[in-house]
């Protein structure tokens, strides 16, 4: 069994459903964009330079303290389906899956660290945890960065900081992103207000699978856009102590208000979602996310006790197209997938029979 | 990206221009009404490209800009404009004058790195950020000929710099 096959059998760090504010915060992620001195950026690197970069960086990662626990997936040897599995697990970007030439990702066994080699920048270090845990993540990624810095020289400039292929990442090269589950704000149509506030604070809001994806199932990724002229600690502090707690508080307030003022409508939403998931004979991944989102809200609010968060999180992953095909060990058409998906959901929810309510 | 008019602080800025009076180009964003009041008979412009054209009009001929190419990686500024990606670390100095307005816009007015440097573990990064801010205040105080404030700021910078060492 390949390492990727092994991954599909576990839940993935970002879906563990633990950590501070986990009723709303799915996961926290920090990434650092780095490039090596003495090489062009990737758009101008020829094949042999790209190969050299890949080799040099994989060796450095392997030799660093995190190297013991890491496996490196070389994309030139990986099937498209396997790369798609990595995208669905949030270990690599879509852009990276569809890139060209020597490239890959180093993933730790716990899936808490994923270092993309030769994506838009030579190196993108990422660390990931469930719940809101930005300070711990910053310490972790700083240590990884430092240990790599001992072996290689980054492209760095006194004035502009860490130099990146795109000037929108220059300076710290830091991107903090937090994935939030905001079903209540969506239901009462307050979500646009959150977006506007985020926009005013120079934050980006994206869907569950990153750039250019819709916010399916009320899952949103909030991230910083300013990377220059602020310290890493300032950016992280603002996120962890102000921005995210405020959004969480807003969502929780609306959840409470709904439970107080419209409990029947709320329970109806949750139970209808459960009813469809348990009975449907064909289902798209979007619909599955949408319905699982409502159940997740019910569980987080303590109104629905027959499924645990862990199960919902597993289903969020396993109903994704590439995971579904991995589980069935075959390539499936869109129609076949929606039939298998419905079947999987029915089977998993069957084990959790509600007794009361 | 929505910008407020810098003059009235109310309407949406629709006129964007770069003034090249000093060393560094300075961006200005105004609404239609304010632009007219200031006697700026500009046609409506927005976005990075027009910002660039404005800059080009004022400081360089178009042909000169088209020829501006990095000697190390061969990237031309026109190519960067199309892809949004630079070709090598050297491009930050080759295209510096053209990049600064873009950096200001994407990084909330900032053009200087204050975060961690290679090899440092970060605890004093905050102190460096504070010093950078004080230096900016100092520049402004000197500009405003407020020498009393400037002297106070210099003392603060000295104290902080010593702590850092
Ligand atoms: Zn105005
Ligand atoms: Zn270059």
Confidence of residue B52 (pLDDT cuts 50, 70, 90): low
Entry pTM: 0.80
Q: Which CATH architecture has domain A3-254?
A: 2-Layer Sandwich (3.30)
Identify whether residues B76 and B62 lie together within a single domain. Answer: yes
Contacts of B117 in chain A (CB under 8 A): 156, 161
Identify whether residues B56 and B25 lie together within a single domain. Answer: no
CB A170 within 8 A of CB A162: yes
Identify whether residues B38 and B89 lie together within a single domain. Answer: no
Strand partners, A177: A29, A223
Confidence of residue A4 (pLDDT cuts 50, 70, 90): confident
Q: Is the pLDDT of residue B37 over 90?
A: no
Identify whether residues B30 and B67 lie together within a single domain. Answer: no
The reply to whether B151 touches chain A by the CB within 8 Å rule is no
Domain count, chain B: 3
Is residue B79 in a domain?
yes
In the predicted model, what is the mean pLDDT of residues B70-76? Answer: 94
Of B87, B106, B114, the CB nearest to A167: B106
CB A271 within 8 A of CB A156: no
Is residue B11 in a domain?
yes
Which of A36, A44, A236 best probes binding to B when mutated, by most B CB atoms within 10 angstroms?
A: A44
Domain residue ranges in chain A: 3-254, 262-349
Q: Return the pLDDT at B21.
A: 43
ipTM score of complex: 0.89
Q: Which two tokens stand for residue A79?
A: 């099937």
Position with higher pLDDT, B4 vs A36: A36
Structural domain of residue B35, as residue ranges?
1-42
Could you give the CA distance from residue A321 to residue B85 in angstroms, rounded to a whole number? 31
Q: How far is B67 from chain A (nearest CA, A)?
A: 18
Q: How far is the CA of B13 from the centre of ligand 1 (A)?
A: 7
pLDDT digits (tens, 9 = 90+) for A112-154: 999 999 999 999 999 999 999 999 999 999 999 999 999 999 9
Instruction: Answer yes or no: do B103 and A170 touch at CB < 8 A.
Output: yes
Q: Which two tokens stand for residue A2?
A: 């390949």
Identify whether residues B69 and B30 lie together within a single domain. Answer: no
Helix (H, G, I), strand (E, B) or coil at A156: strand
* Ligand that comes closest to the CA of residue B87: 2
Identify whether residues B38 and B61 lie together within a single domain. Answer: no
Name the H helices within chain A.
3-8, 47-63, 80-88, 94-97, 134-149, 183-187, 191-200, 232-237, 244-261, 263-279, 285-300, 309-318, 321-328, 334-350
Could you give the CA distance from residue A254 to residue A252 in angstroms, rounded to a whole number? 5
Q: How far is A107 from chain B (nearest CA, A)?
A: 24
In the predicted model, what is the mean pLDDT of residues B138-158? Answer: 88
Question: CB pairs below 8 Å between A and B: how many?
Answer: 118
Helix (H, G, I), strand (E, B) or coil at A176: strand
Q: Which of A188-197, A258-267, B54-63 has the highest mean pLDDT?
A: A258-267
Is residue B111 in a domain?
no
């Amino acid at each position: 069994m390949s390492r990727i096959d092994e991954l599909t059998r576990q839940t993935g760090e970002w879906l563990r459903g633990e950590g501070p504010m986990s009723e709303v915060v799915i996961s926290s992620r920090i990434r650092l964009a780095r490039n090596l001195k003495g090489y062009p950026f990737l758009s101008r690197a020829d094949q042999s330079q790209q190969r050299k970069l890949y080799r040099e960086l994989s060796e450095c990662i392997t030799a660093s303290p995190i190297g013991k626990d890491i496996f490196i997936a070389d994309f030139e040897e990986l099937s498209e389906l396997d790369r798609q599995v990595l995208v669905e697990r949030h270990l690599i970007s879509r852009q990276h899956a569809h890139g060209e030439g020597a490239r890959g990702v180093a993933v730790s066994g716990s899936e808490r660290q994923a270092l993309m080699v030769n994506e838009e920048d030579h190196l993108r270090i990422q660390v990931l945890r469930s719940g809101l845990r930005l300070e711990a993540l910053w310490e972790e990624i700083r240590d990884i960065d430092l240990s790599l810095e001992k072996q290689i020289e980054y492209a760095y400039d006194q004035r502009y900081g860490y130099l990146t292929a795109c000037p929108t990442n220059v300076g710290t090269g830091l991107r903090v992103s937090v994935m939030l589950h905001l079903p209540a704000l969506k239901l009462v149509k307050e979500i646009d207000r959150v977006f506007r506030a985020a926009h005013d604070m120079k934050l980006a809001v994206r869907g569950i699978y990153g750039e250019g994806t819709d916010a399916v199932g009320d899952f949103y990724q909030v991230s910083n856009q300013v990377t220059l002229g602020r310290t890493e600690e300032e950016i992280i502090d603002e996120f962890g102590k102000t921005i995210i707690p405020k959004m969480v508080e807003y969502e929780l307030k609306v959840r409470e208000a709904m439970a107080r003022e419209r409990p029947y409508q709320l329970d109806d939403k949750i139970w209808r979602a459960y009813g469809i998931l348990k009975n449907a004979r064909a289902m798209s991944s979007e619909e599955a996310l949408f319905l699982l989102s409502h159940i997740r809200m019910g569980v987080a609010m303590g109104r629905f006790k027959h499924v645990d968060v862990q199960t919902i999180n597993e289903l969020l992953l396993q109903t994704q197209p590439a995971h579904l095909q991995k589980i069935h060990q075959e390539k499936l058409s869109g129609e076949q997938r929606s039939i298998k998906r419905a079947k999987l959901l029915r089977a998993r929810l069957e084990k959790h029979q509600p007794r009361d309510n | 990206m929505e910008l407020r008019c810098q003059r009235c602080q109310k309407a949406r800025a629709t006129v964007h221009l770069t003034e090249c009076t000093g060393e560094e180009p300075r961006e200005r964003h105004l609404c239609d009404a304010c632009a007219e009041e200031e006697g700026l008979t500009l046609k409506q412009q927005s976005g990075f490209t027009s910002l660039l054209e404005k800059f080009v009009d004022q400081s360089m001929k178009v042909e000169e800009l088209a020829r501006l190419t990095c000697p190390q990686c061969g990237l031309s500024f026109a190519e960067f404009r199309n892809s949004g990606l630079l070709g090598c670390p050297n491009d930050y100095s080759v295209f510096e004058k053209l990049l600064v307005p873009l950096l200001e816009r994407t990084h909330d007015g900032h053009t200087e790195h204050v975060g961690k440097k290679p090899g440092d573990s970060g605890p004093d990064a905050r102190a460096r950020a504070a010093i950078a801010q004080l230096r900016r205040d100092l520049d402004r105080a000197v500009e405003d000929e407020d020498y009393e404030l400037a002297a106070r700021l210099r003392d603060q910078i000295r104290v902080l710099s010593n702590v850092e060492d």
